[in-house]
Amino acid sequence: MSHGVWQIIIRIILGLGATFLIIDFSALLLLGASRSIGAVIGIFPCILLLGYAVFMTRVNDRIIAIWKGGGAGRLGILILAVLFVCGVILFTIESVLMCVYSNKKAPDSERPPVVIVLGCQVRDGHPSTLLQARIDTAYDYLIEHPDCYCILSGGQGPDEVISEAQCMRDVLVSRGIAPERLYVEDKSTTTRENLKFSKEIMERENLGDTAVIVTNAWHEFRAQVIAHDLGLPCGGVGAPTAWWLLPANYLRELLAIVYQFVF
């Protein structure tokens, strides 16, 4: 195929991809389906990408002209190119780690690992789509491992009528999980607090010394890194994420990983 045909194909792919993400992010924000900062931040580069797809020829010609002009313009292009490559490398490394940690066996121990389910948004007393996926994953694991205790971790946000932990407990009990297997941690507001307070419950109740963290798969890597930093040996079981929620939350998590390791 000719260069012109390939350019048209690339423009169509970039344009459709950017348009889909803009619609997805906007819908999540307008409908209140996600409070993820990823949806807010993600809109702007997608708008730029869409503009590039529409005006690709003009933009490329302008870039070539600036490059040929040398000086500060060429330096600026080089800096942007380096930042772009670094971003791609970082994105790739983080993505691989998120996949590796999404289903990681807990370290061997004399006692079964404690299941720690990390909270997520509750809507009108019912679990959000993300939280429901975590509950379903925890339920399956608890059924398959009847000797495991479970800590449900998540406080009550200003827009929630009950704590995330209580919501999870209510659902699991209604589905037949014995209440004596479940412990509620309803004070935490961050992932670090989720794990810190859950570890304290494990020690106070003598439940065990290892854990299996249940959260969405894209969240497993950061959660397990925090757990190890707190001295809690653990593995993880990643819950699935609805496709329309994945882009915003995935982007948010990439930014959160960078923030955690930098600050």
> Given 24, 44, 69, which residue is the final one in a domain?
69
Looking at the structure, do residues 41 and 108 belong to the same domain, yes or no? no
- pLDDT digits (tens), the chain, 263 positions: 667 788 889 999 999 999 999 999 998 888 776 566 788 888 999 999 999 999 999 999 999 999 988 888 899 999 999 999 998 998 898 889 988 999 999 999 999 999 999 999 999 999 999 999 999 999 999 999 999 999 999 999 888 999 999 999 999 999 999 999 999 999 999 999 999 999 999 999 999 999 999 999 999 999 999 999 999 999 999 999 999 999 999 988 988 888 888 77
Task: Report d(CA 75, CA 32) in Å as an integer.
Answer: 42
What CATH code is carried by the domain that includes residue 204?
3.40.50.620
Predicted model pTM: 0.90
- Say if strands 122-123 and 126-127 run parallel, antiparallel, or are unpaired: antiparallel
Range of the domain at 239: 103-262
Quote the CA–CA distance of 209 and 198 in Å, as a whole number. 11
